[in-house]
Structure 1
Amino acid sequence: MSLVSKFATVGGATLISRIFGFGREMLMASALGVGPVADAFNLAFRFPNLFRRLFAEGAFNAAFIPLFARALEEDGEEGAKRFASEIFSTLFSVLVVLTALAMIFMPALVTTIIAPGLAVCVDDPAAGGNALSCAMRFEITVTFSRIMFPYLACMSLMAMVCGILNAYRRFFAAAAAPTLLNFILIGVISYALWIEADKATIGFLMSWGVLVAGIAQLAMVTLAMRLAGFSVALKRPRWTKGLKRLLVLAGPAALIGGITQINLFVGQAIASFKPGAVSILQYADRPYQLPLGMVGVAIGVVLLPELARSLKAGRLAEAQHTQNRSLEFALFLTVPAAVALFIIPEPIIRVIYERGAFDPSATPAVAAVLGIYALGLPAFVMMKVFSPGYFAREDTKSPMIVTLVSAGINIVLSLVLFPILAEQGIAWATTLSGWLNAVLLFLGLWRKGLWEIDGKLVKRSLLVLVSALLMGGALIAMMWELNAWLQPGDAVTTQIAAIAILVAVAMAIYFALTLLTGAADRTMVMRLVKRKRG
């Protein structure tokens, strides 16, 4: 299976998950709107999601896969099973203790980490807002957080199983499992709307839905692992050489792999000082996550095991080729997506969310944040391309320093810009720190001689940028022509038709330009076309 085919497999499964994620967010916006219950759910869900990215997906994709690949190469499948069982047993024990402590001390976590703005509101009602509503926001945030926190344990164990599947190049189950979360939450919200539940009850039911989804996802990937002929055993945790090496690599990797979530979490924590700002950031994040997830996750999942295997086998030229083509693929898809999201955020937000409890007055605020996030889209995907260049060589110190610098810049910018620009200031901080992170990661690889840029990458990247800008110009012209169809008062079907025309024509223009200019690999395209015909 070619590199592009592997990207397509993971990206396609992730795309399906993101599409249903749109459905979930649309229902949630209709049911909860922009308000205290929506803020509480988003804050509570972001916390286990952050730790999932930090200590599960980030750490295991960065540290576990290269070590597991080495165990497979050097010790065979039995050695790999011993290593995996050691890690699984330790991870399970730590998660049980961590979950118990978190549920006991959740009020303190909410006050100090998850939503410090709520603590100010509760302790000093004169500081702003109604005292009763602030107390309610705090209580439901604590309740939702307690219900959803075990989701972290399920996702952490799932991340390890997914790492095993990815090392065996079984990508689909791991990429498709997150769709279960969207299926279950769509069902929960639909049921809640059908019984006409109040907003607090809807948030309560959704929190339990998240926990059920976590258990279902873990069960799905575990079954896939067993069908692949691999299994792990739960034993008494022991301090071993393999575990020590994993922790040395995973600590920095946890920060690096979760930098996007760190930035979003910091932003939401600061945004908790303004009612509704957390929900605005979350609703803007969903459309932005579609291309980020489809391309970024696909590259992150596929590239690391491919690089690790090439480097362990001493195929250095193959590793360089893989890196260059991965960056080329990332830019080919994310640059036009960023241009489109920057130009037409308001019509997109209006069509997705503007119904039910979601007030039309919130649309411009959410659209403005989406437009700012769009400018950082290529950066966050490029980080997924550059990070494996370090991880596959078991170097986590260098990217950890880069991550700490960019995270620090994000916090400073958020604190400076939030009082001036509110949630837009948070979005600018996230975008600018993302670009800083991507640039520093690349410079580190280039200076160490770990990334040799070839002529094809330079030429095609420039042509992709030119093609995307020309597409953007055509998109602006088409918006003038279809302006009457994009007005808030028009029927939803009319607005959807207008956006569909804009997207279809823009895609046609972009792909035509990339084929004509050579920004796209014509040989690969013709090969794919011939294969389809065959």
Structure 2
Amino acid sequence: MSLIRNVGTIGGLTAFSRVFGFARDMLLARILGAGLAADAFQLAFILPNTFRRLFAEGAFSVAFVPMYTRRLSSEEGEAGAEKFANDVLAVFIWVLLGFSAIAMLAMPGIVWLLASDFKEIPGKFELAVTLSRITFPYLMLVSLVAMLSGVLNARSRFAPGAFVPVLLNIVLISGIGIGYVLQQRGGGTVSVAYALAVAVSMAGAAQLLYMVWATRRAGVKLKISLPRITPEVKRLAMLILPATFGAGVYQVSQFVDTFFATSLPQGSLTLLKLADRLNQMPLGIVGIALGTAILPMLARHIQTGDNNEAQRLQSNAVEIGLLLTLPAAAALAVCAPAFVSAFFVGGKMTANDGAVMAQIVVALVAGLPSYVLVKVFQPAFFSREDTRTPVWIAAGTLTVNIAVNFYVVPRYGIVGLAAATAGTSTLNVALLYGLLHKRGWYFISARLMAKVGRQIVATLAMAGVLTVLLPTMATRYSGNVIERIWSLGVLVAAGMVVFFVVAYLTGALDKDLLGQLRRKRAAKPADPSN
């Protein structure tokens, strides 16, 4: 199956999920606003989700998928892959149980480390601890979901894993509805936060049940047995340890951002996370889709020694990623006030909160192309089972990020925090590429540089048109539902038309690339012995 088809499958379902995510956050903004209960729930939601992205979808997936793919394509075939997966599952469950139990017992200390300033507001720290204990079982459930997704991804079955976030958002929206009813009966915003926390863990159970069904439907039968530390399980563990940091620099930085955000005025953490929803839309659709699709494909090319195909695959991923994220970043930066007003301002979310959120969006999306390129470059290391090198890169960039935060946060507040994250992500990409080039694993060709240059021209043209068009409908972005929809529709349509017309005229859209990517299998290079 081609890269573009895999990315389309994952990206399309992720976009579907992001629509539900937007609905969820729009309701949250209006019902909870940016106050005590909202901040406490955001912290409780951040904890299991960040660990999920760091360990399960980050470190575990990048180490497990190449090893499972190799078993699947070896002489042992299905039997060897199934045995490896069962051995890993038997150990993984107990690790997750132990980690979750320890974390829940230590939750007051964890919350204090991340948000000690919550203690200054009566009841806020205690609420955050209680909500975090309620949500934390989600980590174990969704980690098992990530493992089953990895099994299916290795078989080029990407749809189930891309669909499970939809279930999360559906269950959370239901939780908001229940919480709203309790709020109307006198429970206050705290009742909404409790209903949401319970919904998080219930969503994890729903996701796991769905993935078990999807795995069995694909003909994969995994079973739980007594744990055995086999040589392959040991190797996986040795790969996971450095990958935990290397694959998760963005997630580790989320903890850093949370620490600094909770030291700022109440509501800052909520505004940062809601602003990140706009940033996550293109990142999830493009970056996560590319990273998920490229890893097993790249691993197969490298294991067969087909370096030319590996180089071509990564160049295609870079070109596709930037073709979609450069205009997305520019559009979000220019139109941030319109998007924030239309989606989030209303109810308990004030216009002043919206103005701050728009500034945060501009700062965050400055690093959007870098966030996506990290997802493209890291698989070049992971597919070679090199999870150590990204550790040093991640350690360096995270250290820089923390140092920069100590300078910018007291001076520029939450906006400076977002800008520091974007800047250090760009540094991370530069260092990753520098090492790939030095080792001869990947290089950016003159052709690719020319393509990116044309993409930038098209992006600038689009940004110019949006800058002129934006103020002409200023009153519509906060009007009634119809006014908000059609005004944003005009902006989106105008931006897309201008970008793709200019991209076509300048040659930024490559018909040959699209033709190559649609093929199910790339032609193998000729045997030099013939």
TM-score interval, normalised by the smaller of the two chains:
over 0.9
- From the superposition, tell whether residues 64 and 190 of structure 1 become closer, same or farther in structure 2 (CA, over 3 Å): same
Deviation at 1:73?
2.1
Aligned partner of 2:134 in structure 1 is 147
Give the Cα separation in 2 of the matches to 1:515 and 1:29. 39
1:520 aligns with 2:520: no
In the alignment, structure 1 residue 508 sits paired with structure 2 residue 497: yes
Q: Extract unaligned runs of 5+ from structure 2.
A: 519-530
Q: Which aligned pairs between 1:12-411 and structure 2 lie closer than 5 A?
A: 12-74=12-74, 75-112=76-113, 114-119=114-119, 121=120, 134-195=121-182, 196=184, 197-274=187-264, 275-411=266-402
- 2:178, 2:195 within 8 Å by CA — same for their partners in 1? no
Q: Distance in 2 between matches of 1:183 and 1:480?
A: 35
User: Does 2:407 align with 1:420?
Assistant: no
SS in structure 1 of the partner of residue 73 of structure 2: helix
| Alpha-carbon distance in structure 2 between the residues aligned to 1:210 and 1:491 | 31
Counterpart residue number, 1:128: none
Distance in 2 separating the partners of 1:170 and 1:484: 46
Q: 2 CA distance for matches of 1:23 and 1:484?
A: 22
Please say if residues 184 and 213 of structure 1, whose CA atoms lie closer than 8 Å, have aligned partners that are also in contact.
Answer: yes
Indicate if the aligned counterparts of 2:3 and 2:517 stay in contact, CA closer than 8 A.
no
Please give the alpha-carbon distance, in whole angstroms, between the structure 2 residues aligned to 1:2 and 1:105.
46
Moved more, 170-179 or 188-197: 188-197
C-alpha distance in 1 between matches for 2:78 and 2:512: 38
CA distance in structure 1 between the partners assigned to 2:122 and 2:129 by the alignment: 11
Matching residue of 1:125: none
Q: Is the 8 A contact 2:299 2:384 kept in 1?
A: yes
Q: 1:497 aligns to what?
A: 486
Q: Show structure 1 runs of 5+ residues with no match.
A: 122-133, 530-534
Where does residue 532 of structure 1 map in the other structure?
none
Distance 1:362 1:467, change over 3 A: same
Give the secondary structure class of the aligned counterpart of 2:224: coil
Output the CA distance in 2 between the equivalents of 1:180 and 1:456. Answer: 42
Q: Which amino acid aligns with 1:20?
A: F
> Match for 1:98: what amino acid?
F
1:500-520 Cα distance to aligned partner (Å, 9 max, x none) = 101101101101111111111
Asked if structure 2 preserves the Cα contact closer than 8 Å seen for 1:116 and 1:270, the reply is: no
- Of 218-227 and 186-195, more deviation after overlay is shown by 186-195
The count of corresponding residues between Structure 1 and Structure 2 is 513
Q: Deviations over 1:266-291 (max 9, x none)?
A: 11121112211111111101111000
**Alpha-carbon deviation of 1:527?**
9.6
What is the Cα deviation at residue 455 of structure 1? 3.6
After TM superposition, give the deviation of residue 317 of structure 1 in Å.
1.0
Answer whether contact 1:184 1:209 (CA < 8 A) is retained: yes
SS at match of 1:482: helix
Do the aligned partners of 1:57 and 1:257 also contact (CA within 8 Å) in 2?
Answer: no
AA in 2 matched with 1:160 = M
* Corresponding position of 2:447: 456
1:515–1:522 contact (8 Å) kept in structure 2: no
**TM-score, with length taken from structure 1:** 0.93
Q: Give the Cα–Cα distance (whole angstroms) in 2 for the partners of residues 204 and 480 of structure 1.
A: 40
Residue 441 and residue 355 in structure 1: after superposition, are their counterparts in 2 closer, same or farther (change >3 A)?
Answer: same
Q: Is the 8 A contact 2:366 2:422 kept in 1?
A: yes
Q: Do the aligned residues in 1 keep the contact of 2:246 with 2:389 (CA within 8 Å)?
A: no
Aligned to 2:524: none
Deviation at 1:481, TM superposition (A): 3.4
User: Cα deviations across residues 202-246 of structure 1 (Å, max 9, x unaligned)?
Assistant: 000000000000111111112111111112221222221111111
Deviations 1:21-73 (A, max 9, x none): 00000011111000011100111111111111111111122100111111112
Once the 2 structures are TM-superposed, how far is the Cα of residue 435 of structure 1 from its aligned partner? 0.5
* Paired residue secondary structure (1:115): helix
Contact 2:179 2:194 in 1 (8 A): no
CA contact (8 A) 1:53 1:254 kept: no
- Distance in 2 between residues matched to 1:302 and 1:89, nearest whole Å: 27
User: Over aligned residues, Cα RMSD in angstroms?
Assistant: 1.6
Distance 1:166 1:27 in 2: 33
Q: Deviation at 1:254?
A: 1.6
Once the two structures are superposed, residues 318-339 of structure 1 have per-residue CA deviations (whole angstroms, 9 ceiling, x without a partner) of 1111000000000000000000
Distance between the aligned counterparts of 2:454 and 2:91, measured in 1?
A: 49
Letter in 1 for 2:359: A
Distance 1:480 1:29, change over 3 A: closer
> Which region of structure 1 is more displaced relative to structure 2, 354-363 or 3-12?
354-363
Once residues 458 and 124 of structure 2 are traced to their aligned partners in structure 1, the CA distance between those partners, rounded to angstroms, is: 47
Residue 76 of structure 1: how far off its partner (Å) = 1.2
Partner AA of 1:83 in structure 2: F
Q: Are 1:89 and 1:236, in contact at CA under 8 Å, matched by a contact in 2?
A: yes
Determine the C-alpha separation between the residues in 2 that align with 1:514 and 1:333. 11
> Which shows bigger deviation, 155-164 or 375-384?
155-164
Mapped contact 1:118–1:272 kept (Cα < 8 A)? yes
In structure 1, give the amino acid aligned to 2:487.
Answer: A
Relative to 1, partners in 2 of residues 1:526 and 1:480: Cα closer, same or farther, differing over 3 Å? Answer: farther
Helix, strand or coil for the counterpart of 2:123?
helix
Shift of 1:525: 5.8
Between stretches 305-314 and 260-269, larger displacement belongs to 260-269
- The residue type equivalent to 1:221 in the other structure is M
Instruction: Determine what percentage of the aligned residue pairs are the same residue.
Output: 37
Contact 2:30–2:344 (8 Å) recurs in 1: yes
